[in-house]
Amino acid sequence: MTALPVVPRARRAVLCVALCAGLTAGLAACGEDPDEGTNGVGKLNASAIEEKAQQAAEGAKAVRLDGTLVSKGGTYKLNMRLKQAGATGSVTTKNSTFELLRVDDALYLKADAGFWSHGEAGASPSSTDTEAAGKLDDKYVRVPQDDPSYKQLRGFTDMAPLLGGLLALQGDLAKGDRNRVGGVRTIKVTAGEEGDGGTLDVALEGTPYPLQMERGGGAGVLVLSDWDEDFALTPPDKNATVDYGKQLPRTSD
């Protein structure tokens, strides 16, 4: 029989402590409640979690929306702060970036001269186009409500309908993995097969706000933050505002 090596008493004590500590930690992990310290939403089924998130969003006074939205009209990078009375922020398309400001029904668009300059398809802008664009450069241009673009642009600033459309999941719901968004613990709700109908991250801490939405079909990823954090909305200074009349000039976008 081969003799076992002699382990010094001090080393045996250290090994014993380490083994006991590891065993204790393992037992604690096995018995740990993943919902401890949360709002309890993680214990619900997928449909109930989605309902809680929708109710939280509908009851919120304000939110920040940041991410990419893909639609039939193209791809938009959004960075908007929204509330019921209006919104402020920016929208980036393939060709340009413009700012939007809405105070109640008054909608303003701000962009550089490149956004406003235009010409016939395939042609360079005329001197008249360039001159007009120069006057609008970096100015807040009030968008007339009769202009065809008013409804489309306002769509980026209307909190309730915008969130209602963006947060909609399509297909059968299933509860997914736990995650973290912005340092906050979340529970995922997936829709359709393998999440092809969208995936929603719902906060497990505090109010169960939706914190991230991966839209189905690769239609963009949106992060929602600053829930219920109010912000100021004031019309732009008159010296920085241009009223173009009943219809905006057509742009290159």
Looking at the structure, do residues 155 and 73 belong to the same domain, yes or no? yes
Please give the angle made by the CA atoms of 9, 10 and 13, to the nearest 5 degrees.
Answer: 90
Q: Does 188 score more than 80 pLDDT?
A: yes
pTM: 0.78
Q: Which residue has the tokens 């109640």?
A: 104
Q: Do the domain assignments include residue 115?
A: yes
pLDDT winner (highest mean) among 46-60, 61-75, 184-198: 46-60
Looking at the structure, do residues 118 and 178 belong to the same domain, yes or no? no
Q: What integer pLDDT is reported at residue 123 of this predicted model? A: 46
Looking at the structure, do residues 53 and 173 belong to the same domain, yes or no? yes
Q: Which residue has the tokens 């550089």?
A: 112
CA 146, CA 126: separation in Å to the nearest integer? 26
Looking at the structure, do residues 148 and 73 belong to the same domain, yes or no? yes
Q: Do the domain assignments include residue 124?
A: yes
Q: Do the domain assignments include residue 193?
A: yes
Q: Do the domain assignments include residue 111?
A: yes
Domain count across the chain: 2
Q: What integer pLDDT is reported at residue 138 of this predicted model? A: 80
For the segment 221-245, the average pLDDT, to the nearest whole number, is: 91
Q: Do the domain assignments include residue 3?
A: no
Q: pLDDT class for 90, splitting at 50, 70, 90? A: very high
Give the chain's mean pLDDT.
Answer: 83
Note down the domain range covering 48. 41-57+169-225
Q: What integer pLDDT is reported at residue 13 of this predicted model? A: 46
Taking the CB of residue 245, how many other CB atoms lie within 10 A of it? 11
Q: What are phi and psi of 8, to 5 degrees?
A: -55, 150
Q: What is the dihedral of CA 223, 65, 148, 128, to 10 degrees?
A: -100
Q: Do the domain assignments include residue 110?
A: yes
Looking at the structure, do residues 69 and 156 belong to the same domain, yes or no? yes
Looking at the structure, do residues 49 and 68 belong to the same domain, yes or no? no
Looking at the structure, do residues 131 and 197 belong to the same domain, yes or no? no
Q: Do the domain assignments include residue 150?
A: yes
Tally the C-alpha atoms within 13 A of residue 229's C-alpha that lie toward its C-beta. 9
CA 152, CA 72: separation in Å to the nearest integer? 13
Q: pLDDT class for 33, splitting at 50, 70, 90? A: confident
* CA distance between the termini of the chain: 86
DSSP 156: T
CA 214, CA 11: separation in Å to the nearest integer? 53
Q: Do the domain assignments include residue 15?
A: no
CA 202, CA 137: separation in Å to the nearest integer? 41
CA 57, CA 175: separation in Å to the nearest integer? 19
Looking at the structure, do residues 134 and 159 belong to the same domain, yes or no? yes
Q: What integer pLDDT is reported at residue 127 of this predicted model? A: 56
